[in-house]
Amino acid sequence: MKGDVQKRCRELLIQICEAEGIEILKGVVSSDHVHMHIEYAPKQNVSTILKA
């Protein structure tokens, strides 16, 4: 991902995390993958978060 696509991906990830009550501690959108360190409530299920 580059340029506008990379920027839009970042914006969407932030928007989704905010809507789901997930805090992004650290994250990087690279050309071919995304790394995110997140904090979420114990009641939230990892598989559900990944589907969001």
d(CA 5, CA 9): 6
pLDDT value at 52 more than 80: no
Confirm whether pTM is higher than 0.75.
Answer: yes
pLDDT value at 12 more than 90: yes
3-class secondary structure, 21? coil
Expressed as residue numbers, the domain containing 28 is 3-51
The domain tally of the chain equals 1
Structure tokens at 19: 């809507």
> Across all residues in the chain, what is the average pLDDT?
92
Percent of the chain with pLDDT strictly greater than 90:
79
